[in-house]
Chain A
Amino acid sequence: DAMVIQNPRYQVTQFGKPVTLSCSQTLNHNVMYWYQQKSSQAPKLLFHYYDKDFNNEADTPDNFQSRRPNTSFCFLDIRSPGLGDAAMYLCATSRDRTAWEQYFGPGTRLTVT
C-alpha cells in the first residue's frame, strides 16, 4: 500500500552526466514537492507543482528542472550534476493547497562520482 514511491532508491551518476529521478503517487493528490536533503540537514524545498502549475523556489539552481506529465508522476532532472548535488532527494505530496499534511516518499540517495 505504498503511497509515494520513488525510483530508484539509490542512484550513482558521474560528474556532469544528466540524471532523472522519478516519483509516483497513488493518493491522487494535487500538490507534489521535491526536496533536497543533505546529511544532517533539514529538507530544502526545490520546487512544487499545484496540479500542472509549476512553482520554483527563488534559490533553486537552474541545473534542477522538473516535469509533471500527469497527476501521478513527477520527475526531477539534474542537467549537469556536480559533487555538491550529492544528497537525498525527497518527493512529497499533499491533497491540495489548503491541506497541511505532507506525505513523503522514502527518498532517492544520489551519489556523484
Chain B
Amino acid sequence: QQQVKQSPQSLIVQKGGISIINCAYENTAFDYFPWYQQFPGKGPALLIAIRPDVSEKKEGRFTISFNKSAKQFSLHIMDSQPGDSATYFCAASRDTNAGKSTFGDGTTLTVKP
C-alpha cells in the first residue's frame, strides 16, 4: 500500500512558467509534509515543509498548498528556472518519529530555457 502518491512522474516547463507537483496521502496520522529536491548524483535536500494546521506556506518562489480534508498537498514553483531542473519528492512523517519519512515516487522537472 503506497501511502504517498505523487504526480506527475515527469514535467517539462518553459523558463518563467509555473511548475505544479501534486501529492496525496492516506494516513491521517501524518503531521509533517516536506518536499525534497534532488539533483543528479546528490542526496535529497529539504526544500520546504508544512504542517496540516496551515493551508499554505511560501518561501521565495516555492509554495506548498495543503488541503487537509482532501488529504492532498502540492508544490508550486513560480517563475521556474533551468536551475530548478531536478527530481522533487514529497514526503510525509509523524511527530513520533518526525525524521522517518514516507516518500512519494518523485517528479522529474525539466525547465527549458
User: Taking beta carbons and an 8 Å cutoff, which residues of A are in contact with B?
Assistant: 4, 31, 33, 40-45, 48, 90, 92-94, 97-107, 109
A93 to B100, CA, bound (A): 10
Interface size grouping (class) on chain B: 20 to 34
Q: Are B45 and A48 in contact (CB under 8 A)?
A: no
A107 to B40, CA, bound (A): 11
Q: Are B46 and A102 in contact (CB under 8 A)?
A: yes
A100 to B99, CA, bound (A): 4
Q: Are B97 and A97 in contact (CB under 8 A)?
A: yes
Given A97-B98, A100-B99, the answer on whether A92 and B89 have CB atoms closer than 8 Å is no
Residues 41-69 of chain B: 1 if any A CB is under 8 Å from the residue's CB, otherwise 0?
A: 11111100100000000000000000000
A45 to B41, CA, bound (A): 18
Given A90-B44, A101-B46, the answer on whether A33 and B89 have CB atoms closer than 8 Å is no
Q: What are 6 of the A-B contact pairs (CB < 8 Å)?
A: A40-B108, A42-B103, A43-B103, A97-B98, A104-B36, A106-B42
Chain B binding surface, main DSSP class: mixed
Given A48-B100, A94-B98, the answer on whether A40 and B43 have CB atoms closer than 8 Å is no
**What are the residues of chain B within 8 A of A43 when measuring CB–CB?**
44, 89, 103
Q: Are A92 and B106 in contact (CB under 8 A)?
A: no
Q: How far is the CB of A40 from chain B (nearest CB, A)?
A: 7
A104 to B42, CA, bound (A): 9
When C-beta atoms are compared, the residue in chain B nearest to A9 turns out to be B41
